[in-house]
Structures are given as structure tokens and as C-alpha cells.
Structure 1
Amino acid sequence: MEIIGRIKKLFEIQKFGSGFRKREIVITTEEPYPQNILIEFIQDKVDLLESIKLKDKIKVFINIRGREWKNPEGIIKYFNSIQGWKIENIHSSTSNNIVNSKKMISPSLSSDDFDDLPF
């Protein structure tokens, strides 16, 4: 899955005694009803945020994680988290998007190769 939006907040890296690292961001989607989505990056994925700045427009590839927890009273609760694993910068100009989308097509294929598709 992926989420596209602008960086609203970058939190500091959290380091734990076990060596575990985590950093969170809030990304605001650009849609009729924008959503502020908290995304966490853990361990080596924290490094993906080194070049990210506030207000950057990015595409974040995510996994949704869920877990079960039993509190001291014996009541089971469920929690979800959104974990990022890849980031792509999105350029605001249309010409840059066209250039970037052409790079995604395999170099051995030309646009003529797609003319004979049945749809």
C-alpha cells in the first residue's frame, strides 16, 4: 500500500536500551477531506527520513501492523500501526512527473511496444 501527501511533522529519533530505533512522521494527504496519518519507521528504515523535510511531497510505501494486548485486568485490546518501508519524493511540476514516470518503464521497451495491447 502507499500514501501520498506532504510532511506535516517529523518527530525525533527514539532510541531504546535494547538498540531498537523508531522515528515517526505525520503526512497530510491531499484529497477533498485531507487526513493526517502517523507513520512509523523502525530500525534501519529510520535512515530513509534523513533527507526528508517539512512540507516535502512524498509517496510512502506502508505495511499495516496489528497486535493484541491483554491489560492487567485481563481485558484484551487491539492496536494498529502503520509502518513505512520505502519513500519516493514527488516533484510538484508536471514535467518532472512525466520524466520520472518514463524512468519506471523498462529501458528495453519503447512506447511503440504498448500500441498492440488489446485495451
Structure 2
Amino acid sequence: MAYELTGKVKLIQDAQTFNSGFTKREMVVTVEDGKYPQEINLEFVQDKVSLLDRLQPGQEVTVTFDIRGREYNGRYFNNLQAWKIQTGNPVDAGFDQTPAFDHDSPPAFDDDVPF
């Protein structure tokens, strides 16, 4: 099931590549949520890492993501794994949408990485 959030890009991390060849890159999006804005960390993996190349802090984005969870050494971890970014305001004529991820071929996971 896909989820979506809209907010402003706060931070874009550098890409990380692990010994196994697994690559991920994280982005923090600030979402206005009443009195206390929420800073949401999203990760992009493998071929989706390049979606962050064209973004800048302060940009308004709508991010589509899946919730992923797994157990590692008796602890449980959740990740918000993003696969689509829309920039700008959807009402504007200049709305830019990236192609959607193919859900029939899920992204690879690196079992050596705890989260």
C-alpha cells in the first residue's frame, strides 16, 4: 500500500553505498502538522537514489512511499521507503511528476544492514 506526504525539503543526505552494492540516500521533509511540524525521514534505495539529484532544501514536494519493517537481533525497525517525488504545487501548470515505481519488482534489500 502506498502512502503520500507533502511538505518542504529540509535536508538531503549524501548517498551511502555498502560493501554488498546496496545504495541508499535519505531526505528529511518538514510536514506542517498543527502546532508542531513533523520532520519525516524518507529513504530512497538503488535506482531511486537519483530522484533526489534535482531537489534543493526549501522545495515543496509530495513524496509517495511504502512502509517497510523488519526484525534485526530481536529489535524491530520501520523505514519509509520512497519511490516517487512530485515537485511544486499540483494546482500549478508547471507541476512536475516523476514516473511511478513498478510495484511488480520490489526493491532489493541488504540483509547485512540493520536498518
State the TM-score, normalized to the length of structure 1: 0.71
Q: Please state whether the residue corresponding to 2:27 is helix, strand or coil.
A: strand
Deviations 1:32-88 (A, max 9, x none): 131000000000000111101111100000100010122xxxxx2111011100000
Gap regions ≥5 residues in structure 2:
96-115
Q: Please state whether the residue corresponding to 1:45 is helix, strand or coil.
A: helix
Shift of 1:97: 1.3
Shift of 1:31: 2.9
Q: 1:42 aligns with which of 35, 42, 45?
A: 45
* Corresponding residue of 1:25: 27
**CA RMSD of superposed structures (Å):** 1.7
Structure 2: how far apart are the matches of 1:85 and 1:12? 17
Structure 2: how far apart are the matches of 1:27 and 1:77? 26
Shift of 1:21: 0.8
Could you say which structure has the higher helix fraction? Answer: 1
Identity of aligned residues (%): 42
State the TM-score, normalized to the length of structure 2: 0.73
* Corresponding residue of 1:10: 12
Gap regions ≥5 residues in structure 1:
71-75, 102-119
